[in-house]
Amino acid sequence: MSLADRVLSVNNDLPIRTDQPVHSGKVRSVYWLTEADSKRLIQERGYKVAADAPLAIMVISDRISAFDCIWHGEGGMNGVPGKGASLNAISNHWFRLFREKGLANSHILDIPHPFVWIVQKAKPVMIEAICRQYITGSMWRSYTKGEREFCGIQIPEGLQKDQKLSELLITPSTKGILQGIPGVPEVDDVNITRSDIEQNYQAFNFRSPTDIDEYEKLLKEGFDVITEELAKLDQIFVDTKFEFGYVTNDKGEEELIYMDEVGTPDSSRIWDGPHYRDGKVIEKSKEEFRQLLLNHFPDPDILLNKDRMAERSELAKNNALSEKVLMQVSATYTGIAEKITGQKLALSENPRAEIIDVLQQYNLIV
């Protein structure tokens, strides 16, 4: 079997029983289960949720996106071997630690396969909860252009690239296009302030103003847990994105939970500690791939300039990356996953067939 066959690039056409359209994102696809299957699984598996809670199957892929484009490789290798399993394994590890330390639950109820989660449907908080411990990336680029206020927070003069900040900064942005919020442009992924959230908490799907405090508390506590654990491995947690939502538990209570993924190389920057102390940044996250693309193409402005999106899409479509490049990215993802979890990551021989086989045991395949 070729390496390309071991990559799961298409994950929205599996024969999973559903009566709704499959929702397909950049990396994951979501299959909403029928009401009957949701109720049956809750009863059979003893999931700690309301008896009528809607459930879904979430299938990850090995696709890799950067600069709002999906990239592909030579020889039909339309993804990065081991990437999907790495992201899930890392998220599973952090979600479990959060639960053990009494922070909050996640939307995950069951993990039938390294590529598959069974999740409870959550009502998402419409915020990309971004927090930063170092000044780098887009924040540094804005800083070099003279910006000193980020999401309503004043940043001091004289900072150096990749410097540790004096405190953890929460720099949220909108999740999706939100309409009718004063002062907030109706575009996806636009920076917002805490004041924006407080004054329009219902528009962001918060239940009450006090839940804004709860979301910030969970964000900081989650960041601290991951920071401390990575420090034991001499790795640096630089910045990350959290997502939150509401679910109803088996006692009928509504609770704020972590959702999507957490602390992964896709949603976070992670740096190697020894190299950082020597003045060199070695990325253990997707940022390595972004930098590789910026160095690979002669006109990096295409990748950074949102006004050149049409050119960027053509660039991604017409340029197959070498197997060597994708395997370098694979080594980064699998390496950090194994370091974090302390376990060897098994690469599926045929992930699609394995997923169908395991979900047949849940009586979910048509």
Asked if 39 and 98 sit in the same domain, the reply is: yes
Write out pLDDT tens, residues 123-143.
999 999 999 999 999 899 999
- For residues 127 and 173, the answer to whether their CB atoms sit within 8 Å is yes
Token pair recorded at residue 277: 């102390």
List, in sequence order, every residue forming a beta bridge with 60; answer none if it has no partner: 28
Q: For residue 280, tell me if it sits in a domain.
A: no
Looking only at Cα atoms, what is the longest distance across the chain?
A: 61
DSSP single-letter state for residue 136: -
Asked if 116 and 133 sit in the same domain, the reply is: no
- For residues 155 and 143, the answer to whether their CB atoms sit within 8 Å is yes
Sign of CA dihedral 99, 103, 109, 112: negative
DSSP single-letter state for residue 79: S
Q: For residue 113, tell me if it sits in a domain.
A: yes
List, in sequence order, every residue forming a beta bridge with 73; answer none if it has no partner: 321
Q: For residue 340, tell me if it sits in a domain.
A: no
Say what the pLDDT of residue 2 is: 76
Say what the pLDDT of residue 183 is: 86
pLDDT-above-70 percentage for the chain: 100
Please report, as a single letter, which amino acid is at residue 302.
I
DSSP single-letter state for residue 219: H
Taking all residues of the chain, what is their mean pLDDT, rounded to a whole number? 95
Asked if 111 and 185 sit in the same domain, the reply is: no
Final residue of a structural domain among 234, 265, 296: 265
- How many structural domains comprise the chain? 2
Helices 323-341 and 286-296, interaxial angle, to 10°? Answer: 160
Asked if 109 and 78 sit in the same domain, the reply is: yes
| pLDDT confidence bin for 201, thresholds 50/70/90 | very high
Asked if 139 and 181 sit in the same domain, the reply is: yes
Q: For residue 11, tell me if it sits in a domain.
A: yes
What is the radius of gyration, based on Cα positions, of the chain?
21
| pLDDT confidence bin for 5, thresholds 50/70/90 | confident
In Å, how far are 98, 202, 359 from 113, measured between CA atoms? Answer: 21, 37, 9
Asked if 117 and 133 sit in the same domain, the reply is: no
Q: For residue 310, tell me if it sits in a domain.
A: no
Say what the pLDDT of residue 221 is: 98
Asked if 109 and 174 sit in the same domain, the reply is: no
Asked if 114 and 142 sit in the same domain, the reply is: no
In this structure, how many other beta carbons lie within 10 angstroms of the beta carbon of residue 91?
24
| pLDDT confidence bin for 1, thresholds 50/70/90 | low
CATH number for the domain including 140?
3.30.470
Asked if 89 and 134 sit in the same domain, the reply is: no
| 182-190 long-range contacts, CB within 8 A, separation 24+ | 189/128
Q: For residue 249, tell me if it sits in a domain.
A: yes
Q: How far apart are CA 366 and CA 220, in angstroms?
A: 43
Say what the pLDDT of residue 306 is: 87
Write out pLDDT tens, residues 237-293.
999 999 999 999 899 899 999 999 999 999 999 999 999 999 999 999 999 999 999
Write out pLDDT tens, residues 147-198.
999 999 999 999 999 999 999 999 999 998 998 899 899 988 899 999 999 9
Asked if 70 and 112 sit in the same domain, the reply is: yes
Say what the pLDDT of residue 155 is: 95
Q: How far apart are CA 263 and CA 285, in angstroms?
A: 10
Q: For residue 237, tell me if it sits in a domain.
A: no
Residue 318 has pLDDT above 70, yes or no: yes
- For residues 62 and 83, the answer to whether their CB atoms sit within 8 Å is yes
CATH number for the domain including 49?
3.30.200.20
Asked if 54 and 183 sit in the same domain, the reply is: no
Final residue of a structural domain among 214, 232, 265: 265
Asked if 170 and 181 sit in the same domain, the reply is: yes
Final residue of a structural domain among 265, 299, 322: 265
* pTM, two decimal places: 0.95
Say what the pLDDT of residue 346 is: 84
Q: For residue 297, tell me if it sits in a domain.
A: no
Q: How far apart are CA 244 and CA 113, in angstroms?
A: 24
Average pLDDT over residues 337-361: 95
- Give the structural domain span for 74: 3-122+347-360
Average pLDDT over residues 92-107: 97
